[in-house]
Amino acid sequence: MPLRGETTPRCRGEAPSERPPASFPYANWGPKVAILGVLLALGVGIVLGIPAVIIDDPTNGNLSDAANVAVQLATALGFLLVPIAIASRWGSTSVGQALRRLGVRSFRPSALKWMAAAVGAYLVVSAVYVALFGAPEQKDIAESFGAVPVQVLLIVFAAPISEEICFRGMVFGGLRERLPRLAAALISALIFGGLHALTGVSAVPPLIAFGFILALLYEKTGSIVPGILLHMLNNSIALIGQ
């Protein structure tokens, strides 16, 4: 009999059967696929964004607002589509099942206290970081997206949803299948924070802490939705501050 998180034996070339784990972690693809999934998601985002860059053909090295929006959407799609594809390849027979395996699930009212605890922990970490190293500086990318409604769509909605599905649902979920909670949370947070280095190196440590806290919140509540909501709140504050 297969252990929790494992699928039943199958013939060569046959897709894994739909046997979702009864409890967290819901992932059944393991750490290697989780890490490779990030690289694949980045690659898909780049490929999807290439047409916009080619069509825009910037002569001064700067893309137009429309091209920047297209590239950002392509990145979000990569972070969204690849996890769904991986969950589908590892047994989910519908998009809904894939999303549930990635942590898109309802949560109990008790999750609110853990969300509050996550906010408190992040505020403490941020305050300590600022006191020791000063306020982190991060590139303002909002203006490159043009109109404010478009900025809100991309920064407040598209980025949190796609990133939580990718980094918490796919990466942390896959790592957690084999690794201890803190190790899985730290590795997923390092990947999450490291990929934001281009927008500002000094902002990476707080983002690593943020990713670590959101991973623990996911396991505690059994859903990535609380993390999505806090991620949206964080990005909203950042957008207003810019």
How far is the C-alpha of 178 from the C-alpha of 15, rounded, in Å?
21
Residue percentage of the chain with pLDDT more than 90: 76
Q: Which of 3-12, 72-81, 90-99, 176-185 has the weakest average pLDDT?
A: 3-12
CA angle 20, 101, 22 (to 5 degrees): 35
pLDDT at 66 over 60: yes
Identify whether the C-beta of residue 169 lies closer than 8 Å to the C-beta of residue 217.
no
Q: Which residues contact 116 (CB under 8 A, 6 or more apart)?
A: none
- Write down the pLDDT at residue 56: 85
CB 91 within 8 A of CB 17: yes
Give the number of other Cβ atoms within 10 Å of residue 3's Cβ: 6
pLDDT band at 242 (very low <50, low <70, confident <90, very high): confident
- 37 three-class SS: helix
Residue 159: closest CA among 216, 199, 206: 199
pLDDT of residue 138: 83
Whether the predicted pLDDT of 9 surpasses 70: no
Helical packing angle, 181-194 and 204-221, nearest 10° = 140
- Residue 98, token pair as written in the block: 């894939």
Structure tokens given for 140? 């303002």
Distance CA 167, CA 151 (A): 22
- Concatenating the DSSP letter of every residue in 144-183 gives GG-SHHHHIIIIIIIHHHHHIIIIIIIIIHHHHTTS-HHH
Structure tokens at 75: 């990145």
pLDDT of 88 > 50? The answer is yes
At 1 the pLDDT is 34
pLDDT in tens, 109-123: 999 999 999 999 999
So what's the pLDDT on residue 241? 80
